Amino acid sequence: MKPSVLVDVTVQIVFPAALVLSLYFLFAGHNQPGGGFVGGLVAGAALALRYVARGYPAVQAVVPVPPPVVAGIGLLVALGTAAVPLVLGDEVLESAKAAPELPVLGTVNLTSALVFDTGVYLVVVGLVMAVLDAFGGEPPEASS
């Protein structure tokens, strides 16, 4: 794949923005359109952009963890959110809410569902990375 300056520069600009957008989706998702799944997809798309510009090493540079580990951690986080209420004597996946006052952000509505959503986010990101890793090798000579 030949590096292209135009693509390279565009990705440099778009990638951070897309990541921020994906985090916004993740955190705002409980009240606004968004959520962990969409956030994960956007982050995945952002990583795919990096991949298009510079290949898989550029993806690895951002996330220096193997894709299955990312997805696995995500699943563990989600499972943990499911299990913690059991330990505390509630139903499985019971959610808890809190609304602390934070210095800059003001009143922030937090729910334990956000943690669960983070798990979903990580699973999706991990899977996109895994696909990029698996199918993202050099194309075969046969079709080039």
Interaction site with other proteins (CB under 8 A): 25, 29-38, 41-42, 44-45, 48, 52, 68, 71-72, 74-75, 78-79, 82, 92-93, 95, 97, 109, 111, 113-114, 116-117, 119-120, 123, 126-128, 130-132, 134-143
Question: Which residues contact residue 82 at a Cβ distance below 8 angstroms, ignoring those fewer than 6 apart?
Answer: 92, 93, 116
Nearer to other proteins, 12 or 138 (CB): 138
DSSP 8-state class, residue 92: T
Residue 104 CA to residue 19 CA, distance in Å, equals 22
Which residue type occupies 123? V
- Shortest distance, CB of residue 106 to other proteins, whole angstroms? 17
- Shortest distance, CB of residue 57 to other proteins, whole angstroms? 16
Residue 83 CA to residue 134 CA, distance in Å, equals 32
Nearer to other proteins, 8 or 66 (CB): 66
Nearer to other proteins, 60 or 123 (CB): 123
- Shortest distance, CB of residue 15 to other proteins, whole angstroms? 14
- Shortest distance, CB of residue 98 to other proteins, whole angstroms? 9
Q: Determine the straight-line distance between the first and last CA of the chain, rounded to whole angstroms.
A: 11
Task: Write the secondary structure of 38-69 as one string of H (helix), E (strand) and C (coil).
Answer: HHHHHHHHHHHHHHHHHCHHHHHHHCCCCHHH
